[in-house]
């Protein structure tokens, strides 16, 4: 498995510094938070996109994916959501990123059946554009669809190879799902896996990997047992928790911890 980290852990950090961190701490790739607060977002012009792609190539670091914020099950008109996804897909294509992350985003008062149908319709519409660009849309286990079983309801309706799943291990754990259950649900669709650690269900402040309660060893063991060899991406949510320890000093211990889990599972 290859290792990446998300720029959610280093809010606003210039890309040369992000690339330096990846190279110095032994990470193969970076997940880029695609937001106007960050150096990478869909508003970039073609020249800047080309420059960023060249910077990553020169550094020998891969752009794992773009973490977008489209909410595919949210109430309202389809077109703004589909347009947002298309913008992310085009940015991913320009940067050489294989994946775009979207959220479910179902609303309170919306039935599960309605949320599933809305999400599947929008993802199905965007899927052809994704296929044309050679990028996959990944629905993250999050908010209204935090378990693998819930995400699978949507993905089964879409039935398109360019729409898959992003497994966030915190949300499936909070949803009461065991890693073996999540893998069984998502394995036909799985793009990559976001790892992290927290103190408890009531305190989700990010911790160094291995310092909290999330079943990281079990997740890695399940993936290894089934021969899965994709990406593990550390999503350290520093942007939402200002008092969390800075990520740069944790990157090497985090990589070493994941390395131990991979060795133990082998």
pLDDT at 266: 86
pLDDT score at 200? 98
Summarised one tens digit per residue, pLDDT across range 122-151 is 999 999 999 999 999 999 999 999 999 999
The 3-state secondary structure of the chain, one letter per residue: CEEEEEHHHCCCCCHHHHHHHHHHHCCCEEEEECCCCCCCCCCCCHHHHHHHHHHHHHHCCEEEEEEEEEECCCCCCHHHHHHHHHHHHHHHHHHCCCEEEEECCCCCCCCHHHHHHHHHHHHHHHHHHHHHHCCEEEEECECCECCHHHHHHHHHHHCCCCEEEEEEHHHHHHCCCCHHHHHHHHCCCEEEEEECCCCCCCCCCCCCCCCCCCCHHHHHHHHHHCCCCCEEEECCCHHHCCCCCCCHHHHHHHHHHHHHHHHHHC
**Which pLDDT score is estimated for 121?**
98
Residue 114: predicted pLDDT: 98
Residue 4: what pLDDT?
A: 98
Blockwise average pLDDT, block size 10, the chain, 266 residues: 98 98 98 97 98 98 98 98 98 98 97 98 98 98 98 98 98 98 98 98 97 98 97 98 97 98 94
């Amino acid at each position: 498995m290859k290792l990446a980290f998300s720029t959610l852990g280093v809010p606003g950090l210039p890309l040369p510094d992000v690339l330096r961190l990846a190279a110095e701490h032994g990470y193969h790739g970076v997940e880029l938070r695609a937001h106007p607060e960050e150096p990478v977002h869909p508003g970039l012009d073609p020249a800047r996109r080309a420059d960023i792609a060249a910077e990553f190539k020169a550094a020998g670091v891969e752009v794992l994916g773009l973490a977008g914020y489209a909410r595919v099950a949210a109430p309202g008109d389809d077109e703004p959501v589909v347009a947002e996804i298309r913008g992310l897909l085009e940015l991913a294509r320009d940067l050489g990123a294989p994946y775009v992350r979207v959220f479910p985003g179902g609303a309170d008062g919306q039935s599960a059946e309605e949320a599933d149908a809305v999400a599947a319709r929008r993802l199905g519409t965007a899927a052809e554009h994704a296929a044309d660009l050679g990028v996959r849309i990944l629905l993250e286990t999050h908010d209204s669809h935090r378990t693998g079983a819930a995400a699978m309801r949507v993905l089964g309706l879409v039935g398109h190879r360019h729409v898959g799943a992003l497994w966030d291990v915190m949300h499936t754990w909070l949803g009461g799902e065991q890693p073996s259950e999540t893998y069984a649900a998502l394995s036909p669709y799985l793009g990559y896996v976001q790892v992290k650690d927290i103190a408890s269900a009531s305190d989700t402040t990010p911790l160094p990997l291995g310092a909290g309660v999330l079943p990281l060893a079990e997740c890695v063991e399940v993936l290894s047992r089934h021969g899965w060899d994709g990406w593990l991406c550390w999503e350290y949510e520093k942007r939402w928790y200002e008092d969390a320890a800075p990520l740069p000093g944790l990157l090497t211990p985090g990589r070493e911890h994941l390395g131990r889990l991979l060795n133990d599972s082998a």
